[in-house]
Chains A and B, each alone.
Chain A
């Protein structure tokens, strides 16, 4: 442990505290643009990663998140914009001088080296003494709980072990920033969950600034201090997981992060702060922000999370009428799919934590659906899918 953080005195206990720019920003991107031929991989991306935080870059494949990571690592050069690491402009610094730890999606462990030699590679490149390398490698392997496999070659290790070796190899050089490119996508589900916890713990323990690329929104929600949601080469929203989930800035973010129901409706009143949406017998108040410029009676799409919907008996006044189509029992809760013509896609997902939901709302039952809770959001309608 100690040797992993000891490289940069005077605060060996944490990398997070030794700010060089005084602002606590470890990585700063301003107006970064990158094109590959005709394709705009990144359009004017601006982002600040705070020292010691774990930020995920979340987005569908092809959104530019890996390009962004490769730019920070120095494997790609930006067409425009400024890139700073620890307050120093690094646009023209080659990757081997950037002091960055990167874990690749396929780990990229050197197949011709043992696990220990893989981990020690960065230290040998820094021409550290042999004993020092050995000591730090042992510490790093202990940190990822992999002692005892030093002499094995990568192909003799399981996927999870390779993952840990890759992590140790990136951490052992005490990087300014740790970059993780979908590091868990190759692991099976249960291993992925436990590695998420482990990565988070190690990251906390070392206080290493970390950028984590993923397309898995649940991974992003569970791991991150902050999330940057990317789509089509642009950063659409940066915020805490709760911000992103509860106050998505646009339709794309709302539908990409978490499950969401979209209900076609019309606006009631609109004032500076709140607007109301008329929906059957219900009137739902939403923030005006995203609806700027809309007038009363304009169409609007109401975005509601599955856990914000409640069911009531048929015939009772409700926001939407529907018919129960499917139950999916999830242990702690039940997901009910309700056919409802008012919903985009023709059906609603209702998440109920009532233990008797399945018997109370059997398949085929006509039900009323209510919107409850204060977090409903509305966006102007859009012809294309978000």
Chain B
């Protein structure tokens, strides 16, 4: 291959990579710039600059309650999913039982069932049994949605867990319960925390199913944002998005500094 051709290929390759990276960050970039538009329209690029939409977004009552509701739903849903998913992951990893494959398939089914189907299903069900559209139905719906992710995350950490640690503990006189408490759970902590974090992010961002199962009193932040954009087209939403991105980035930086994010998300091999 000639030298010039090699050079062309290298330049072209670099451009493709830059283009891909550009497309990945482009939406966030556009929204960020639009958030600083002084005009009350979502336009790009802005003509004049202002912080006022940030103030408005932060002061908007529905966003406040949506944020609070989101935290409630996310906290309950990801914690319950961690408990249920963790227990199932443990059972799937350690025991042989009838219908193992079927049960696993059912637990993972919400990956392929559209979210609106699940939301609609819970809506009908809640109405049928006379359950008001309160938090329980939202939480249960979110548990179903995030369960596969928690299950997989815990299952993978269980698979990676060297069973000899547990054997060593048993040999040293630890009963099965104490092996679980003193060795298995502490060693699984990164996987459990990673699973919980993943579930929490998914639950907090979930929109489609939440649209069906939330009411005015229980609407989560994405639903509140949707309702807002149906009525107003000012850059408040863009400003909120910027706050969202900044807050998430800050959270991840803190998590990385204190917990080691790689370990938490199980992408680094831990010894």
Contact = CB atoms under 8 A, between A and B. Distances in A.
Binding partners A and B: yes
Interface of A: 73-75, 94-102, 104, 106, 108, 110-112, 121-122, 125-126, 154-155, 169-170, 173
A137 to B, nearest CB: 13
Contacts of A126: 173
B175 interface: yes
Interface stretch (B112-120, B125-133, B163-171): B163-171
B178 interface: yes
Interface string B139-178: 0000000000000000000000010110111111111101
Given A111-B271, A112-B187, A155-B271, A125 B174 contact: yes
B170 A108 contact: no
7 contacts: A73-B171, A75-B171, A96-B171, A104-B168, A108-B168, A122-B173, A170-B172
Contacts of A99: 173
B187 A94 contact: no
B171 A110 contact: no
Given A110-B183, A111-B270, A112-B186, A173 B168 contact: no
Contacts, number: 68
B173 A104 contact: no
B173 A108 contact: no
A101 to B, nearest CB: 7
Given A104-B164, A125-B178, A155-B271, A110 B173 contact: no
A253 B90 CA distance: 44
Contact of B174 (A96, A104, A170): A96
Interface of B: 162, 164-165, 167-176, 178-179, 182-183, 186-187, 270-271
Contacts of B173: 96-97, 99, 122, 125-126, 173
Nearest to B167: A75
A74 B176 CA distance: 13
A101 B172 CA distance: 7
Contacts of A173: 172-173
B29 to A, nearest CB: 41
Contact of A95 (B167, B183, B186, B187): B167
A3 B170 CA distance: 22
B174 A108 contact: no
A169 B175 CA distance: 17
Contacts of B167: 73, 75, 95, 102, 104, 108
B24 to A, nearest CB: 35
Contact of A102 (B162, B171, B176, B179): B171
Given A111-B270, A125-B178, A100 B171 contact: yes
A104 B186 CA distance: 20
Contacts of A100: 171
B164 A111 contact: no
Contacts of A169: 168, 172
A96 B271 contact: no
Q: Shortest 10 CB-CB distances between A and B: which pairs?
A: A122-B172, A108-B164, A125-B173, A108-B168, A95-B170, A102-B171, A125-B174, A112-B186, A96-B170, A155-B271
Tell me if B's interface is mostly helix, strand, loop or mixed: helix
A110 B271 contact: no
Contacts of A104: 164, 167-168
Nearest to B178: A125
Given A74-B170, A111-B270, A112-B187, 20 more contacts: A73-B167, A73-B171, A74-B171, A75-B171, A95-B170, A96-B179, A101-B171, A102-B167, A104-B168, A108-B162, A108-B165, A108-B168, A110-B165, A121-B174, A121-B182, A122-B172, A125-B172, A126-B173, A169-B168, A170-B172
Nearest to A112: B186
Nearest to B179: A96
A100 B95 CA distance: 26
Nearest to B164: A108
B165 A121 contact: no
A154 B165 CA distance: 13
Nearest to B270: A111
Contacts of A96: 170-176, 179
A146 B164 CA distance: 24
A94 B164 contact: no
Given A108-B162, A111-B187, A155-B271, A121 B169 contact: yes
A112 B270 CA distance: 11
A73 B179 CA distance: 16
B171 A95 contact: yes
A97 B186 CA distance: 23
Contact of A121 (B162, B172, B175, B187): B172
Nearest to A95: B170
Contacts of B178: 125
A132 to B, nearest CB: 15
A155 B270 CA distance: 10
A98 B182 CA distance: 19
Contacts of A101: 171-172
Contacts of A95: 167, 170-171
A108 B165 CA distance: 5
A94 B178 CA distance: 14
Nearest to A169: B172
Contacts of A108: 162, 164-165, 167-168
Contacts of B171: 73-75, 95-96, 98, 100-102
**Which one of A102, A106, A170 has the highest number of Cβ atoms from chain B below 10 Å of its Cβ?**
A102
B268 to A, nearest CB: 13
Contacts of A74: 170-171
Contact of A94 (B170, B183, B271): B170
A7 to B, nearest CB: 12
A326 B93 CA distance: 55
Nearest to B168: A108
